[in-house]
Amino acid sequence: MDARLNYFADPTAAKALRHLMTAGRTVQESSLPATTQQLVALRVSQINGCAVCVDMHTKEAAAAGETAVRLHLVAVWREAGVFTEAERAALELAEQGTRVADAGEGVSDEVWTRATVHYDQEQLTALVFLVAFMNTANRLNVIARQPAGDYAVARSH
């Protein structure tokens, strides 16, 4: 299967993607725990049906030492006892931040308050930007039907 669009072949898209990737790296370099970042990126991608991002973030998380059990249970994290309270708060915020139209009020005060118990202001900001970033990346990939399955983790891991 070929993608509908080659974003890197279009000068406007390539320029916009460079800026978007810079924003993504900024979040990645934040104090938000790397494990939490991978779990959130994976969950947002699952919700949005972004196969290429699910492929990428599953492999990146595994390469960083995440267990197969936890990766398999991200989609059903509420019923799984393998996630910390902090991770659960981040996953819940990510779900409501992704399902804005479904959530009625967006991210509820209750969910936000739970997140503030576990994350400081910088980490909360990074978490919000990560959710927004992943939703943007997911939509770009889903619309263009980017094929999945051949993502290779960089050798630097």
- Could you give the C-alpha distances from 81 to 34, 66, 69, 70, 73, in angstroms and in order? 20, 15, 11, 9, 9
Q: Is residue 48 a part of any domain in this protein?
A: yes
The model carries a pTM of 0.92
pLDDT tier, 156 (very low <50, low <70, confident <90, very high otherwise) = low
The per-residue pLDDT for 157 is: 45
Query: Which pLDDT score is estimated for 103?
Result: 65
Which candidate, 104, 110, 111, 43, places its Cα nearest to that of 73? 43
Domain span at residue 75 reads: 7-144
pLDDT band at residue 155 under the 50/70/90 scheme: low
> CA 105 → CA 40, 48, 102, distances in Å?
20, 19, 8
137 found inside a domain: yes
Total domains in the fold of the chain: 1
In a domain, 110, yes or no: yes
Is 126 among the domain residues? yes
Rounded CA gap, 106 and 95, in Å? 10
Decide if 34 is inside a domain: yes
What's the confidence (pLDDT) of residue 154?
Answer: 83
CATH number of the domain that 61 lies in?
Answer: 1.20.1290.10
pLDDT digit string (tens) for 90-140? Answer: 999 999 999 988 767 789 999 999 999 999 999 999 999 999 999 999 999
